[in-house]
Amino acid sequence: MIFIDGTAVNVALPVMQHELNATAAGLQWIIESYTLFLSALLLVGGVLGDRFGRREVFVTGIVVFTLSSALCAASPSLSVLIAARCLQGIGAALATPGSLALITAAYTGEERGRAIGVWSAFSAITAALGPVLGGWLTQAWSWRAVFLINLPLGAAVAAIAPLCVTESRDEGAPKSIDVVGAALATFGLGALVYALIRLQTTHDAFAGVACVAGLAMLAAFIAYERIGTNNPMIRPDLFRVPAFTGANLYTALLYAGLSGSLYFVPFDLINVQGYSPLDAGAALLPMIAIMFVGSRWAGGLVARIGARIPLVTGAAVATVGFAAFAIPEVAQSYWTSFFPPVVILGIAGTFFVAPLTTAVMDAAPSHEAGAASGINNAVSRTAGLIAIAALGIALATAFDAELSRQLVRFQVTPATSAIVEQREADVLSGGAFDLPSASDVQAAKRAIQVAYVSGFRVAMLLAAFLALCAALIAARWDWRLRYEASSS
């Protein structure tokens, strides 16, 4: 449910834009509000699980997530939907680290690698399946059905877990919760993302103040975690293990590129290429199939050959995949435009998803599995949170630079051009494709499409650069896997 909702909603966004009359910023907040609380509170979720019982906290998170999904489906306005998505993020933050920590506590050695491989396979498959499911539900019924499907799934999980999952906890877990750290992380990330989203359309002093405030709170968070509390959310000693530090740097770069780029793919497919929501979701099916076949096999690679080779390979192949997304023009065949990069990313994910998770969990002692899982998940979610907003700035800037030129190129009249440029912020979410009736409306739409592709191309190339940086880190890092290596 949690991984599906992280991607299924993306395909429904163009439909939500029309029904809820949302701006491009409003649409981003539908995604970012969920990711913000998930990112900031994942660490708390891991610590709570270690202390009170991972199964208990996991089930609590599932219940919160399911109830907030019902509120999302019933939302009468954009503001209510965003608030409900915040609650979803809180539930997801409680459940996500517990799911992996429970598996880590139940297995050892190569069996743990295979088990994590299965977990990674299903998480990757459901994340990739999300757009297909979201597109089908949106097209066949409504975007609200994307959230309603969580109700029976959540009820089933809440019923099965107490019967089939063994409880585990860390008896030495701290008795207090790092409330100050959680608050600094939440408000710091929130202010920074708000500033980045605002900067996509407005370059005012308030955006600058919010950016500075966000960075200051995040700096205060790091300082507080290091010296301000005896029970930090982020355990500094974990980062003394080379493999743990390297894996999280790798995660930050690669998942920034992955989350930041794939957010914009449905907009290009639906608003520019003319795909239906279902077709846009189905465009990612090859990635699902490839990762399903390969993830269990890849989960045992770290135990056999170490982390370096699979992680370098995964990031390098992902670099090619993101760059391939920058090639398609408007109205090209799927098989020659989007199919190749989707296949390439599926191959890349096979090499980096399960081995990366295995490397992270092997680098921490088993009694700190919840904290380690929470940190790595928080890193990946935070990277995606910031990347969506940051790549949005790059896309908007390139789009703005190209739009005027394309309006002239397609000989759009000054009157229609003025309408397009006046509604430029809405164009980024597809709103301005509903232009007033005019003789040159088709030419204007074509200019918008070409300009959007230019911005999309910039975002994809930046994602490729981030993946390349991840590959370089993986190639040069000290990948000692065992926690005990740090004390030798």
Residue 416 lies in a domain: no
Residue 150 lies in a domain: yes
pLDDT in tens, the chain (488 residues): 887 887 788 788 878 887 888 777 788 888 888 888 888 887 788 778 877 888 899 999 999 999 999 999 999 989 999 999 999 999 998 888 788 778 877 887 778 777 877 877 777 677 767 778 888 888 889 899 999 989 999 999 999 988 888 887 777 666 677 788 888 888 888 888 888 888 877 777 888 899 999 999 999 988 888 887 777 777 777 787 888 888 899 999 999 999 888 888 888 888 888 888 888 888 888 887 787 777 667 766 766 777 788 899 999 999 999 999 999 888 788 999 999 999 999 999 888 887 887 778 777 776 666 667 778 878 888 898 889 888 988 998 899 889 889 988 988 888 888 878 777 766 666 555 556 666 777 888 888 889 999 999 999 999 999 999 999 999 988 776 554 444 44
Residue 436 lies in a domain: no
Are 486 and 254 spatial neighbours (Cβ–Cβ below 8 Å)? no
Tokens found for residue 236: 């500094």
Neighbours of 52 (CB within 10 A): 13
Q: What Rg value do the Cα atoms of the chain yield, rounded?
A: 22
- What confidence score (pLDDT) does residue 487 get? 45
- What confidence score (pLDDT) does residue 429 get? 61
Measured CA distances, 226 to 109, 134, 233, 338, 341 (Å): 31, 41, 10, 45, 41
Tokens found for residue 72: 């999302």
Same domain for 346 and 458: yes
Say how far apart CA 178 and CA 375 lie, in whole Å: 14
Q: Measured in Å, how far apart are the chain's first and last C-alpha atoms?
A: 42
Same domain for 88 and 205: no
Same domain for 222 and 281: no
Written in H, E and C, the secondary structure of the chain is CHHHHHHHHHHHHHHHHHHHCCCHHHHHHHHHHHHHHHHHHHHHHHHHHHHHCHHHHHHHHHHHHHHHHHHHHCCCCHHHHHHHHHHHHHHHHHHHHHHHHHHHHHCCHHHHHHHHHHHHHHHHHHHHHHHHHHHHHHHHCCCCHHHHCHHHHHHHHHHHHHHHCCCCCCCCCCCCCCHHHHHHHHHHHHHHHHHHHHHCCCCCHHHHHHHHHHHHHHHHHHHHHHHHCCCCCCCHHHHHCHHHHHHHHHHHHHHHHHHHHHCCHHHHHHHHCCCCHHHHHHCCHHHHHHHHHHHHHHHCHHHHHCCHHHHHHHHHHHHHHHHHHCCCCCCCCHHHHCHHHHHHHHHHHHHHHHHHHHHHHHCCCHHHHHHHHHHHHHHHHHHHHHHHHHHHHHHHHHHHHHHHHHHHHCCCCHHHHHHHHHCHHHHCCCHHHCCCCCCCHHHHHHHHHHHHHHHHHHHHHHHHHHHHHHHHHHHHCCCCCCHHHHHC
Same domain for 342 and 367: yes
Same domain for 25 and 52: yes
Q: What are phi and psi of 326, to 5 degrees?
A: -80, -5
Pick from 22, 32, 265, 258: nearest CA to 143: 22
Q: Which of 194, 211, 230 is the last residue of a domain?
A: 230
- What confidence score (pLDDT) does residue 485 get? 44
Residue 409 lies in a domain: no
Are 185 and 36 spatial neighbours (Cβ–Cβ below 8 Å)? no
Residue 413 lies in a domain: no
CA angle 452, 26, 10 (to 5 degrees): 65
- What confidence score (pLDDT) does residue 229 get? 75
Say how far apart CA 173 and CA 180 lie, in whole Å: 18
Residue 167 lies in a domain: yes
Q: Which of 230, 257, 291 is the last residue of a domain?
A: 230
Pick from 135, 192, 151: nearest CA to 12: 135
Pick from 116, 137, 121, 131: nearest CA to 6: 131
Same domain for 163 and 67: yes
- What confidence score (pLDDT) does residue 370 get? 61
Say how far apart CA 150 and CA 168 lie, in whole Å: 26
Q: What is the CATH number of the domain that holds 257?
A: 1.20.1250.20
Residue 207 lies in a domain: yes
Say how far apart CA 114 and CA 269 lie, in whole Å: 36
Residue 267 lies in a domain: yes
Say how far apart CA 143 and CA 9 lie, in whole Å: 8
Are 35 and 89 spatial neighbours (Cβ–Cβ below 8 Å)? yes
Neighbours of 203 (CB within 10 A): 9
Same domain for 25 and 168: yes
Tokens found for residue 14: 């163009």
What is the residue whose two structure tokens read 């680290």? Answer: 97
In the chain, the number of structural domains is: 2
Say how far apart CA 430 and CA 448 lie, in whole Å: 10
Say how far apart CA 44 and CA 252 lie, in whole Å: 19
Say which residues have a Cβ less than 8 Å from residue 159's Cβ, sequence separation at least 6: none
Q: Which of 230, 251, 273 is the last residue of a domain?
A: 230
- What confidence score (pLDDT) does residue 119 get? 79
- What confidence score (pLDDT) does residue 484 get? 46
Same domain for 21 and 10: yes
Tokens found for residue 37: 């609380």
Same domain for 193 and 117: no
Domain range enclosing 183: 179-230
Same domain for 340 and 208: no
Same domain for 187 and 289: no
Same domain for 390 and 255: yes
Say how far apart CA 49 and CA 54 lie, in whole Å: 4
Say which residues have a Cβ less than 8 Å from residue 349's Cβ, sequence separation at least 6: 124, 287, 290, 291, 295, 314, 318
